[in-house]
Amino acid sequence: MNTFKTPTLAGTIKPANDKSMTHRALILAALATGETVIVNPLRAADTTQTMHALQMLGVPITIDAQHHCIKVQGIGREGIKAYVEDLATPLHFDFGNSGTTTRLMIGLLAGLNVPATITGDASLQRRPMDRIVDRLTQAGAQITMTRGHLPLTIHRGITNGLIDERLQVGSAQVKTALLLAGLGANVPVTIVDDFQTRDHTEIMLATFGASITVTGTTINLPAQIQLTGQLIAIPGDISSAAFWLVAGAVIPESTVTLANVGVNPTRTGILAVLERMHADVKLRARHQVNGEPVADITVRPTANLQATSITKAEIPQLVDELPIIALLATQAQGTTEISGAQELRFKESDRLATVGQVLTQFGANIQVNDDGFTITGPTRLHVPEAPVDDFGDHRITMLIIIAQLMTGARLEPRATTNVNVSYPNFIRDLEELLHV
């Protein structure tokens, strides 16, 4: 990475395309019949895992780099099952670092009754899978795990004639896995989502032609669903945009515009937090694509940021943004309390511990609690005396880089390959905003 001379950010970029939506578009396209063209997908390490998994199930997928799209020739549930039945040996998947691929594919494979072994890298093997597997075994699946974690083996798919579940954790991955299990098994699904987790799956199912209904917090997906290939456009990912939203709000003389960002209400918790903290953030050019709200977001620095409180009810709407929000809180007047965020302990790293350690090295006044943080500001950050560990976590790496910018010092080179998990062009976008 280059060494930059000034931390001021200015310009317009389109942040990484939405990771959650790309995963879902690929899987639903495979279950559909006919061609789906996914325009502006996120082509990153995580979504590549999902694409390769579907190709192992016999789904033809091609990348059209010239037109920034992926073309999926959907073969439907029956086509996938027929392909797998002709294989000589059971499938073995290694999903690397992708928790989304893993959890969604567990649901899909259990629904399709596809025997398979699933593993991943050391980080993924530390992440809990019982929250999904327990639900699927209650529906008749036979799945063995390694103390609640990967590696796991699916011996038999679900056998129940329906899936009826109230979510026990605020996880859209669990919700989507159950919906995919129902689709794969061709049985009706009812899910009560009191957490109001991100609803990309529900919106996209409707786009593919499913007669899904959402009444309050209850989701109903009937059996006998036939999905049809579609043109799906993927907007920018607000979780990736979050790093620039925070940087633009605190780095003097900055003006950053993030173009074509998804602003689905189940994902915009960070915008609500920024508003409460009196940040200068404006949304323009609002429109909808495939049922998803999209906008351009402009952020400028604010001298009088105010502390806030984030409680358990908000966590599902901003869980991936909490590390960078913690950094923002170091620049706010007063004490910011973040609670109900135990889910951070089960990410690529224990993000409660890793965020606390990283920000402490930068001089932040941060206390790590069992379920969140207590952060008192404003604090002038300084360059750490010792090297800062990113714990192999892509969001921690990006957090460190933004924190370095905020010190006002020259940006020191560091390894950034793990940002390829979610934001391969992060450094390129940084250079563009810094005009280097």
CA-closest candidate to residue 352, choices 335, 332, 375, 334: 375
Q: Which residue is listed with tokens 């033809």?
A: 60
Q: Which tokens belong to 323? A: 């590390």
* 119 within 8 A of 151, measured Cβ to Cβ: yes
Sign of CA dihedral 369, 371, 377, 382: positive
Instruction: Compute the distance between CA of residue 273 and CA of residue 291 in angstroms, rounded to an integer.
Output: 24
Compute CA distances 296 → 83, 266, 320, whole Å.
43, 17, 20
Q: 20 labelled as ligand-binding?
A: yes
Cα-based distances in Å from 221 to 26, 77, 165, 198, 213: 19, 16, 12, 17, 7
19 is in an annotated binding site: yes
Q: Is the N-terminal amide bond of 316 cis, ω within 30° of 0? A: no
**173 annotated ligand-binding residue:** yes
Check: CB of residue 101 under 8 Å from CB of residue 46: yes
99 has binding-site annotation: yes
Cβ burial of 32 (10 Å; 0-12, 13-18, 19+) is buried
Is 239 labelled a binding residue? no
Beta-sheet strand order (sheet of 309-310): 309-310, 334-338, 372-377, 365-369
Any known ligand binding at 395? yes
The enclosing H or E element of 368 equals: strand 365-369
The CB density around residue 216, as the number of other CB atoms within 10 Å, is: 9
The Cα–Cα gap between 273 and 325 comes to 8
Is 320 a residue of the active site?
yes
**Exactly one of 18, 46, 237, 320 is catalytic; which is it?**
320
Tell which residue, 338, 368, 330, has the closest CA to residue 352.
368
24 is in an annotated binding site: yes
Q: Is 320 annotated to bind ligand? A: yes
Q: Which residues are annotated as a binding site for 3-phosphoshikimate?
A: 19-20, 24, 171, 173, 320, 347
Q: Which residues are annotated as a binding site for phosphoenolpyruvate?
A: 19, 99, 127, 173, 351, 395
Q: Which residues are annotated as a binding site?
A: 19-20, 24, 99, 127, 171, 173, 320, 347, 351, 395
Active site residues: 320
